[in-house]
């Protein structure tokens, strides 16, 4: 009897230890650190502020900074980081589906109006026929840039495509502009090589450009709100909600409004 009771206690203890190990493996925190992927520039600066607030609550946040739009999602899907904050929902939806990444959106963050910039002209009307115009080479940001060009009156696109439009969907190009697809992070450095270019505001700001002042045209009513993404299995984790609450706090909103001169807009 005593032997059976002893064995039962051993089995129970093993089960409890296994359960504890399982919870630890499934949770997001490793060594009590939340790893957050961001792109360099404003997203990085904003999450640095979030990390400052998190420290006061006993949450250590480690930033992992990327210089492209692909690896933050791949790295998150592979479990090397816990959360990312850098992308618009249309871009997220396309990449998540095409690569079967198993990621989900959990909250809105900020909006960065896309703008057109030039080192050669200060007004759209000064672009000569045949001018070269750069745009991002990834699908949704490229489509967003084409919508920007259409809004500016430079081109007409085939109807109904939205951000899925490509340069092959330009229905009318009356000024015979040459559209050149470039790596979005590199466009600010290559701006002098084209006559004008569409640049995502996070990369523009990182390069020292102020969208509201330096752009020759800017989105008038941007609906491209950025988001926070996690792996599907972690969407209900308490630390995820804690991060969202910190990000969407009044302190972070005030930080954005005071530091980005209207080039970054709280979207929650």
**pLDDT tens for each residue of 156-195:** 999 999 889 999 999 999 999 999 999 999 999 999 999 9
In terms of domains, do 211 and 125 share one?
yes
In terms of domains, do 173 and 103 share one?
no
Q: Where are the alpha helices (DSSP H) in 172-249?
A: 187-190, 201-206, 211-214, 238-247
pTM above 0.95? no
Query: How many domains, the chain?
Result: 2
In terms of domains, do 106 and 162 share one?
no
In terms of domains, do 98 and 182 share one?
no
pLDDT-derived band at 109, boundaries 50, 70, 90 = very high
In terms of domains, do 134 and 209 share one?
yes
In terms of domains, do 34 and 90 share one?
yes
Mark which of 218, 236, 252 sits at the end of a domain. 218
Within a domain: residue 11?
no
| Nearest alpha-carbon partner for 38 in 14, 73, 5 | 73
Convert the pLDDT of each residue in 237-266 to its tens digit: 999 999 999 999 999 999 999 998 878 889
Which CATH number covers residue 119? 3.40.190.10
pLDDT-derived band at 26, boundaries 50, 70, 90 = very low
User: 104 near 232, Cβ under 8 Å?
Assistant: yes
In terms of domains, do 120 and 108 share one?
no
pLDDT for 7 equals 46
Within a domain: residue 259?
yes
DSSP 43-58: HHHHHHHHHHHHHHTT
In terms of domains, do 119 and 196 share one?
yes
Domain that includes residue 144, residue range: 115-218
Vertex 25 angle, CA 23 and 29, to 5°: 95
Mark which of 202, 218, 234 sits at the end of a domain. 218
In terms of domains, do 169 and 251 share one?
no
In terms of domains, do 131 and 211 share one?
yes
Within a domain: residue 13?
no
Convert the pLDDT of each residue in 110-153 to its tens digit: 998 899 999 999 999 999 999 999 999 988 899 999 999 999 99
In terms of domains, do 92 and 120 share one?
no
User: 132 near 106, Cβ under 8 Å?
Assistant: no
In terms of domains, do 119 and 108 share one?
no
């Amino acid at each position: 009897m005593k032997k059976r009771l002893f064995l039962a206690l051993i089995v129970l203890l093993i089960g409890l230890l296994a359960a504890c190990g399982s919870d630890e493996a499934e949770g997001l925190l490793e060594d009590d650190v939340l790893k957050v992927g961001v792109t360099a520039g404003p997203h990085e600066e904003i999450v640095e502020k979030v990390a400052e607030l998190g420290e006061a609550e006993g949450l250590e946040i480690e930033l992992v900074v990327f210089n492209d739009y692909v690896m933050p999602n791949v790295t998150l899907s592979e479990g090397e980081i816990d959360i990312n904050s850098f992308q618009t929902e249309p871009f997220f939806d396309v990449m998540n589906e095409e690569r079967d990444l198993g990621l989900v959106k959990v909250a809105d963050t900020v909006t960065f109006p896309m703008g057109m910039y030039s080192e050669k002209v200060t007004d759209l009307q000064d672009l000569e026929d045949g001018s070269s115009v750069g745009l991002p080479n990834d699908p949704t940001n490229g489509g967003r840039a084409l919508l920007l060009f259409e809004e500016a009156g430079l081109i007409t696109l085939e109807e109904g495509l939205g951000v899925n439009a490509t340069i092959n969907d330009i229905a009318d190009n009356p000024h015979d502009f040459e559209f050149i697809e470039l790596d979005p992070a590199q466009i600010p450095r290559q701006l002098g090589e084209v006559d004008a270019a569409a640049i995502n505001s996070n990369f523009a700001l990182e390069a020292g450009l102020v969208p509201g002042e330096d752009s020759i045209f800017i989105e008038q009513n941007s609906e491209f709100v950025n988001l926070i993404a996690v792996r599907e299995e972690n969407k209900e984790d308490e630390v995820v909600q804690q991060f969202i609450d910190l990000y969407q706090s009044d302190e972070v909103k005030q930080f954005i409004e005071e530091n980005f001169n209207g080039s970054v807009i709280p979207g929650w």
